Chains A and B, each alone.
Chain A
Amino acid sequence: MFPSQDKNPNDRDLVSRARQGDREAFTQLIVQYQVPLYNMALRMVGGREDAADIAQEAFLRAWEKIRTLRDAPFKSWLFQIAANLCYDHFRRNRRYGTMPDEETHNIVGLGIATPDPQERAEAGERNRLVRQSIQALDHDMRIAIVLRDVNGMAYDEIASVLQVPLGTVKSRIARARAQVQERLQQHPEFFPREDVHAE
């Protein structure tokens, strides 16, 4: 088997200080997790302000409840809180439609460098289609693929965030990928169907 992702050894110390009420230590945890947590929420709910609300509320609840955190890794626990908030969000907004897909601004330069304007436009369009395809997934599949392919979590970590068996994680990720693939292939100009040819 393959080891799960690094459980940041730094967390343990910060968490134990935060449990004593050390705000500074908790603030360091916020700094460490704000981008991945926000992006998880963003890919789940689609809207920036909603995603920021969810991340803020997750940190607040984590801060309030950190004394109840025993041996579980902080990261899984924090993401579990945020995942539950995403589900709360869907519950509240179920009747009222979904947020429109927001145009991207405010992007950290972690993507592929595309200096050429046309390439950049194409990359933007590809990303928009990918975001749309993720948004079209049902919530259970969406969160599985987001935790895996946006947050880079190992399957056992995802299982502990979602509190489901490993087999469920595996099947949700697989089905999510298959559905995203199917949607992307409806745009062959951006996602050409790859046939593997024997040379």
Chain B
Amino acid sequence: MPSEPRVPIEPTLEELSALIDNELDAAAHARVAEHVAGCQECQARLEGLRQTAHAVRGLPMETPPRTFTIPAQRRQAWRWAPVGWLGSGAVALLLIAVGIQNLHLHLSAGPTATSGSTSTVSGGLAYGPAQGQKGAVAPLAAPAPSPQLFDSQSRGSAMNAATVVDPTNSSRRLVLDTDSASYPTTGRMQVTAQLIGSPLTSLNSANQGLTLTLVRNGLGVALNPVGVESWNGTPIFGGWYDIAGFPLSAPRAGDYRLEATWVIPDGSGRVLQSSVPIRLTGN
């Protein structure tokens, strides 16, 4: 209620808040300030907002718990290829015994594969023959994530992540991450794959054309990507995987890569692939 007839227009909450920040234009500033000067109620409103802003501003700035770094070389941000090397029929939950080899050798030329994006795109690297690959694939049960899925309380601190952007559609990205880059062979790995900008909202990995493979020396074990949720149209897959259950060859410890391959389900045949390094330790 205005306390004086001379100042009839009550300022809005937004105007009072912006007044504190000096973010009103000159005319509005003058009008609101004049009203407030003559209205006790608005003085109290303003004072309350001001004290709130001060309370938030008074929170101490904290020191980060670690230093932030960038790698000596740019992460290989993304790779792609004609779909030929991975027919849609092969996009299944299989242990890939041999077929992965071409993929691995060509795609994972390693983090030294130079400045990432441009060369890889335009190169449009040719992959192993599409034909005959299925024959090289030995089906086995795919490890499934354990039912509790993510437990945010036990998330590790070192996030291990890679993002690839579709060069023809910059709003489409495949984001792969794990909660660590290193696990004991008896540990559990939390994996998340986000299919940002997918043309489908399905949480069925086969419909989405998504596969997850843990690869070493041309041998891979496929992980079963479980649909976790669809958030604003972004399908998210992942879960906790018990590494002890993986059919890995001995010695189980060593350096692997976890690769997410997404055959974009729009009929274009384009593939996005992200990978992160995974080290298994112990025996």
Contacts and interface: CB of A to CB of B under 8 A. Distances in A.
Interface in B45-72: 47-49, 51-53, 55-72
A60 B151 contact: no
Interface stretch (B13-21, B84-92, B214-222, B258-266): B13-21
Contacts, number: 182
A195 to B, nearest CB: 6
B65 A52 contact: yes
Interface string B73-87: 011010000000000
Contacts of B22: 2
A140 B232 CA distance: 15
B150 A107 contact: no
A108 B13 contact: no
B244 interface: no
Q: In terms of DSSP, what is the predominant structure of the interface of chain A?
A: helix
Contacts of B63: 35, 106-108
Interface residues of B, number: 62
**Size bracket, chain A contacts:** 35 or more
A49 B155 contact: yes
Interface in B126-172: 149-153, 155, 157-159, 161, 163
The 8 closest A-B pairs by CB, nearest first: A174-B17, A111-B60, A149-B56, A181-B52, A53-B159, A38-B64, A196-B43, A49-B157
22 contacts: A27-B70, A34-B68, A36-B61, A48-B62, A88-B194, A91-B234, A94-B229, A95-B149, A104-B62, A107-B63, A111-B59, A127-B60, A155-B18, A174-B13, A174-B14, A174-B17, A174-B18, A177-B52, A178-B13, A191-B55, A193-B48, A196-B40
